[in-house]
Structure 1
């Protein structure tokens, strides 16, 4: 096992040049002393209020009345604005006498430019609350608009994760925000993170702080009927990887150092008994309902379970964390060239759920040695027969299980199907290396490799093997 000194040498490095991984939340700047630090001994669960039920959207107008809202910014995208989810929200607002304006220009897989456009709309509106109706792109855009509306003098890069931005903590009070997801996967309705492509460097990054969490997440399964097949498919694999990664993350009491102040405890705390409950629920739900929800879209039971699983996975990752699949996904999605997915428009892009699952078989084959029992349990929860399987079999068992799901759900066969060639590997590896926070939640990276910096040849070699 790697020495503690090596691990905390890396933590000091990351503290000076914080991770740009868009999925992790702001951890605060803290000093790591030269003394041997004590590993953390506790975990905490932070979360938006979650309300779930068929038809529950009808209550959103009353919620805004309860907030004292007088002028609401409703954000959505150009496809959803004419569909039933948005109509249901606006009907509830009208019925309860709540004034609103609609911004329907949210870009799928948003960029810094599209974020800024939404911010400018918000600044002109004199809003006292925000409502997001859509998938992760809509909810993330709405969070950014709320933040910069609430701090109108801030420069855009002030809050963007370091090292791309300044990574400043949020010390302004944001307006109340309600999120109504229409896809089943991102979990953005419960997290304090908003993700975007920073066009200048062709890489994904984000803005992360607990203050960005929506005040209320309204989870209405009726909205999933607006979700096309491929959107349901790829977003379902986001749930899939959220659950697997948080379940196999380093245990909270093996992560360190323990913070000098509880306010400095990172959002990515490692696996813990509560996040494990959500992960197990999600994996069981996937085993029972994922395929049915995609290929039988009128099955309200299957779509309801997957919709709830998306939120519960968000609770899990928002507190335990994700690791290698997501760390590798950002350069895969950020460097999309020719791949145009069905149901997502006409521009080249790689949907987030696809970008995370495409490396999952290789990832979990590698990471199984760090915690074979949990990897075997995960495979079992997904329906694999693990009778007689040994710890040494864990990686292959889980990898084969994931591959069976990918084949059944007709997922593209590796990076070559996404438009990449072997010549792209160095660029993808380079883009993956800075996502340090995602790797520090993985036992396999911290212990067996024993890396002391991102330049360690073992570290690069490991990613080269996984990405290929």
Structure 2
């Protein structure tokens, strides 16, 4: 079987990366952009750091700031109409996963109008045309939406999130500028950072993993493991490392998929509007333990790059336990909630939530096959 790799065309990394936005816009001959973002990033002057550069260089743009934390079908439809009315020929997405995911859906529908209901984009949609070109500027260190072919939309009516996978939606240019990430509060840095760790670990052990993605994921685990604590405490060098680590994880999992952590996290966000990173982070240590006997030597690799003393000489069972304990400790150290009841999850909802998790597109990638009953038990263990 052939393995496929899809990566975005160009990326800029490091302090000052956003200074390349206007030159890239002009070089590519674009005439008008829509800046897609959210109101909080405008309020905290993050967006202005980009738009000031656009204005200085005479870039024509309009601002769409209607993005919500778990973007909805209606959110996408509203954005599509905005972009069409502006007659823009590209999108500049500024933010975490929500603005960039929404920009992907908007961009796909603008050039593939037969998917205007949004819901038909679920799974692997048969789109014919590349999306409206997207420049992606992440402001968090976690989702890697700037380098993936995936995006997630919330179906509010049916209380579920659906994942869309489409090579046509990948941003053409990413600007990974750690300066824009310095304003993250501790809680957001922790949640998005643990989301990046989840991407790296799930991508490393997923059924579709292979050598090229393995090298990306194990390096991402190493970078996130050594940097996340200091990043949460506001250290600029650590935040720059986290920006790189989450991007490397995205390069991998975008091409091989994820697993049960994401499968179980998506319905928690859909039912209770829990931020995606928080949902993933609260589940990761428990699901790692659930999967440990189905991962060959990979948990030993994880323990080694996380700096567990003696991991290389441990028995396989002890190495697996050490990897789980290291991630559990990291989660505690950065303040991730230990139970999902703290996030508002109700035990009476678990049977339906577990059905949604079982049917999530990420779940089949898990190294251990599961059942609805086992998923319910996993949720209950975290109540």
The TM-score normalised by the length of structure 2 is 0.93
Instruction: Provide the C-alpha distance between the structure 2 equivalents of 1:208 and 1:271, rounded to a whole number of angstroms.
Output: 17
Q: CA deviation at 1:441?
A: 2.3
Q: CA deviation at 1:51?
A: 1.7
Q: Structure 1 residues 173 and 368 mapped into 2: Cα distance closer, same or farther (>3 Å)?
A: closer
Helix, strand or coil: the match of 2:336?
Answer: coil
SS of residue paired to 2:93: strand
- State the partner residue of 1:463: 375
1:401 corresponds to 2:349: no
Match of 2:230 in 1: 292
Distance 1:171 1:459 in 2: 35
Does 2:290 correspond to 1:333? no
- Which of 1 and 2 has greater Rg? 1
1:373 aligns with 2:311: no
Residue in 1 aligned with 2:142?
A: 185
Is the contact between residue 262 and residue 363 of structure 2 (CA under 8 Å) also seen in structure 1?
no
Deviation at 1:396, TM superposition (A): 2.7
- Runs of 4+ in structure 1 over 6 Å off: none
TM-aligned CA deviation for residue 466 of structure 1? 2.2
- Confirm whether residue 419 of structure 1 aligns to residue 340 of structure 2: no
Structure 1 residue 171, shift from structure 2 partner: 0.5
Given that 1:75 and 1:132 are in contact with CA atoms closer than 8 Å, whether structure 2 keeps it comes out as yes
CA distance in 2: counterparts of 1:278 and 1:57, whole angstroms:
25
Please point out which of 101, 104, 122 is paired with 1:161: 122
Q: CA deviation at 1:82?
A: 4.0
Instruction: Please give the per-residue CA displacement for 1:320-343, whole angstroms capped at 9, x wherever unaligned.
Output: 21111111111122111xxxxxxx
Shift of 1:380: 2.4
CA displacement, residues 255-278 of structure 1 (integer Å, 9 cap, x when unaligned)? xxxxxxxxxxxxxxx112221222
TM-score by length of 1: 0.77
Distance, in Å, in 2 between the alignment partners of 1:312 and 1:168 is: 25
1:150-195, CA deviations, whole angstroms, 9 ceiling, x for partnerless residues? Answer: 2345431464215xxxx64111243221000000000100112221
Q: What's 2:15 paired with?
A: 54
Please identify which structure carries the higher helix content.
2
Given candidates 228, 249, 267, the residue that maps to 1:313 is 249
The alpha carbon displacement at 1:394 in A equals: 4.4
Distance 1:220 1:326 in 2: 26
Whose RCO is larger (CA < 8 A, sep 6+)? 1
Structure 2 residues not aligned, in runs of 5+: none
2:170 corresponds to which of 194, 210, 213: 213
C-alpha RMSD of the superposition: 1.8
The Cα shift of 1:439 comes to 3.2
Q: Is the 8 A contact 2:203 2:258 kept in 1?
A: yes
- Count of aligned positions: 378
Pairwise CA distance, 1:460:
2.5
1:244 alignment partner in structure 2 = 201
